Chain A
Amino acid sequence: MKTVDLTTRIKGLVFKNPVTVASGTFGTTGEYAGYVDYRKLGAIITKTITIKPREGNPMPRICETAGGMLNAIGLQNKGLDDFIANKIPYYAKIATPLIVNIAGESEGDFAKLARALQKHSRVVKAIELNLSCPNVEKGGAGFMKKRRLMKAAVKAARAETDRLLIAKLSPELGDVLEIAGEVLDAGADALGLINTLKGMAINIETRRSRIANITGGLSGPAIKPVALRYVYEVKKKYAVPVIAAGGIMTVRDALEFIIAGADLLAVGTANFVNPRATLDILEGMTEYCQRHGIRRIEELRGSFRHV
């Protein structure tokens, strides 16, 4: 069998393959190390970090829905200082490129986070801006619903870092194509598509929400067609690298996104169901390419046939 070249390049960064993990679904330091050799991944994306530690939302925070789940974790994390003291040294030992996902309540927060991470540019290869987390009433959502501030956040981060800058969007924010244009103008190098869609589920016995926060972010196979559509439409309109997320469970899902034009594939909720999902997808991708006589993943990327 011929080897398949899965190398993916984004603005000077080289990823040995396009498979990464979606923010908030792969832990912070080695939770999946017993199941997955992190060195085999194309990149690792961290859970969102904020400047100060965040306690997170009350319980229950998750519930299963048809073909997916709702979550309202509330961006629980130990904050920037802990990340720099404890997480950066962990990732420094792993050659896989690290993408750090950040969120703030103001453009100043984004600037401060980007500046702090820039100092660790040997380890931090890219910064992903979480512009859409639907669970943080005062922070992400309230702030991000305001498009002007969203642009300001991208600009502020851009001014502080030369790292690959990814703006992660949610369709909740309004017209994704329009917003994509705005954040690109503001200095983003790439787009993350998509974050979760806001949803809810009611326990009919208690008539209460099954999530303490009442609403939560829907993820998993249920949102895949939506994510795929956005990746396709954005790729058609802009020459911009895209990190795709949304219901990527199997190699078939992954290939659909590649054909639609995705550059990296972020495996999210699938990790919870199958801790080896990333590696299964990688193996399946190589097999598919061999079967179809594809020698470089580049040949497949964006090869969608309109007729």
Chain B
Amino acid sequence: MKRVDETVTIQENKRINGKYYKLVFKSARLARGVQAGQFLHVQIRPDAVDPFLRRPFSYYRIQHDRIEVLYEVLGRGTELLAGLGKGSHLKIMGPLGKAFTQQVRGKKRILVAGGVGVPPLVFLAEKNPVDYLLIGTKSRAEVLPKKELSKVRAEILHATNDGSYGVRGFVTALLEKIIQKEGAECLHIQTCGPAPMMNAVMDIAKREGIPGEASMEESMACGVGACLGCMVKTPEGWVPSCIEGPVFSFDRLVRTCA
């Protein structure tokens, strides 16, 4: 299969709240056949060696050939990205990786999102019938603007660490409540976010026997399975999360202490 590495022109790149920036560009080839959970591998400054490696970002929203990415400024690469204006160029490989299971039959679906794991799960919830979308953030300032969530066909519940929006505490408290209400047997979980959050979600899922998927976030170099740098531990050993994931079924993930 022919793979895409395309130079795109930024159409929009601006801050949308206390946490995220939204990046918008057009590419028919990078948009073709994409499903939530897949990612783009972005060379932020195509003609410079700083940042040196590409950075992976999830697809957030696609409308025809228009692609949106939501990102958080965490370090040098995302800081440089945030400084780029309309008309700047990026070099992007994609779509890469395996998507979330889109259709889950006979189960109530819960999505548990936090941090940079929010964008792919909002994408999933916009495209598929989902029952709950649980979002955990530090405070109100980080909660996505209502407009960004208007196309989600699910009950959206927020948890903030400081209680400034939704319930106070961790998103896992919301998850426990839903399990009590619905009963574990009929549930299916999909999660993406910081490792401690996903670990807590998977601990609950394991205790309750709830199946599901987690999207892992490992630093990447190649994005195509060549460098063996982005590994996730499975019963068969370390596998590259860029091609075998980033989405993995809970039962394929072996916990390593981090």
Contacts and interface: CB of A to CB of B under 8 A. Distances in A.
A293 interface: no
Nearest to B91: A274
A65 B54 CA distance: 13
B226 A64 contact: no
B238 A31 contact: no
A33 to B, nearest CB: 8
A60 B228 contact: no
Interface residues of B, number: 32
A168 B43 CA distance: 31
Contacts of A73: 227-229
Most buried by A among B93, B224, B256: B224
B5 A35 contact: yes
Nearest to B43: A273
A221 B53 CA distance: 12
A21 to B, nearest CB: 9
B33 interface: no
Contact of A69 (B2, B43, B52, B233): B52
Majority secondary structure of chain B interface residues (helix, strand, loop or mixed): loop
Contact of A273 (B3, B53, B219, B224): B53
Nearest to B54: A273
B93 A275 contact: yes
Contacts, number: 98
A269 B218 CA distance: 18
A299 interface: no
B176 interface: no
A68 B52 contact: yes
B221 interface: yes
Interface in A38-62: 47, 55-56, 58-62
A65 B218 CA distance: 17
A80 B67 CA distance: 44
Majority secondary structure of chain A interface residues (helix, strand, loop or mixed): loop
A272 interface: yes
Interface in A54-104: 55-56, 58-69, 71, 73, 76
Interface string B214-239: 00001101111111111101000110
A269 B224 CA distance: 13
A25 B223 CA distance: 12
A27 B43 contact: no
B2 A62 contact: no
A274 B228 CA distance: 17
A290 interface: no
B51 interface: yes
A32 B226 contact: yes
Contact of A62 (B50, B51, B219): B219
A60 B219 contact: yes
Nearest to B258: A59
Contact of A61 (B50, B228, B233): B228
Nearest to B225: A31
Interface string B39-53: 000010000011111
19 contacts: A27-B222, A34-B2, A35-B5, A56-B231, A58-B256, A59-B218, A59-B231, A59-B256, A60-B219, A62-B221, A62-B230, A64-B52, A71-B221, A73-B228, A76-B231, A220-B52, A221-B52, A272-B226, A274-B91
Interface of B: 1-3, 5, 43, 49-54, 91, 93, 218-219, 221-231, 233, 237-238, 243, 256, 258
Interface of A: 24-27, 31-32, 34-35, 47, 55-56, 58-69, 71, 73, 76, 220-221, 249, 269, 271-276
Across the A-B interface, the 6 shortest Cβ-Cβ residue pairs: A34-B3, A62-B229, A27-B226, A272-B222, A272-B221, A31-B226
